[in-house]
Amino acid sequence: MRRLPAIGEGDLLIVTDLQNDFCAGGALAVPGADELVPVINRLAEAFAHVVLTQDWHPPGHLSFASSHPGRGPFETVQLACGEQILWPDHCVQNSHGAGFHADLAIPHAELILRKGYRAEVDSYSALYENDRCTPTGLTGYLRERGLRRLFLAGLATDFCVYYTALDARLAGFETVVLLDACRAIDRDGSLAAALAAMRAAGVEILG
Ligand code: VGL
Ligand code: ZN
């Protein structure tokens, strides 16, 4: 990381969704995901506090295109809680694809936060589900632990990292996205839009 500031006790690294289904050969492979693993392993050594998130969907999750007859992956549908991009089946609970990349090595990670486990609601953000009103509990965890500045790495820059960053700002956390330690899905300009929205929300983007 080119310009990582001094890291202290109030700082947390959130490693987002470094799971087999988002890596090479996975159901929703993000370009360049595998090369992140050594980068993030090394990065994590600088942090006393690390949280891992794990996308963790039940079979038949509403975000899966296969749950919408006649629809295909990457189409958009209107759900009760807003627009939903339909994804290939991915990160199904207890499947190999839902497991962390075999080379991810962060033994001091303090918490593994699973998300997206409600069949009817997707959850990109680590703080709130996509209905925007169901908390995951992470905000309370961070406040109780005195963690005030969040550094974000992982997958995908323009979905889960992006939503986590915006929610973190809304909750009042200083938020830094470590861009070299993230990779994007980048469909229909989603990466550029996410970067612009994060900057507008006061998220610091470090290359
Ligand atoms: C993600 C799409 C669906 C992500 C998770 O980790 O960014 N993207 N589920
Ligand atoms: Zn998902």
- The rounded distance, in Å, linking the Cα atoms of 188 and 118 is 27
Per-residue pLDDT of the chain (207 residues; tens, 9 = 90+): 667 999 999 999 999 999 999 999 999 999 999 999 999 999 999 999 999 999 999 999 999 999 999 999 999 999 988 899 999 999 999 999 999 999 999 999 999 999 999 999 999 999 999 998 999 999 999 999 999 999 999 999 999 999 999 999 999 999 999 999 999 999 999 999 999 999 999 999 998
Q: Are 133 and 123 in contact (CB under 8 A)?
A: no
Q: Exposed, middle or buried, 137 (CB in 10 Å: 0-12/13-18/19+)?
A: exposed
**pLDDT for position 101:** 98
**pLDDT for position 2:** 61
Ligand 1 nearest-atom number relative to CA 87: 3
- The rounded distance, in Å, linking the Cα atoms of 118 and 207 is 34
**pLDDT for position 45:** 97
Half-sphere exposure of 14 (CA within 13 A, CB side): 34
For ligand 1, whether the C-beta of 159 sits within 6 Å is yes
For ligand 1, whether the C-beta of 17 sits within 6 Å is yes
**Paired tokens of 46:** 């600088």
Q: Into which CATH architecture does domain 11-58+93-206 fall? A: 3-Layer(aba) Sandwich (3.40)
**pLDDT for position 8:** 96
Q: Which of 89, 160, 167, 182 is catalytic?
A: 160
Q: pTM for the whole thing?
A: 0.97
**pLDDT for position 1:** 61
17 as an active site residue: the answer is yes
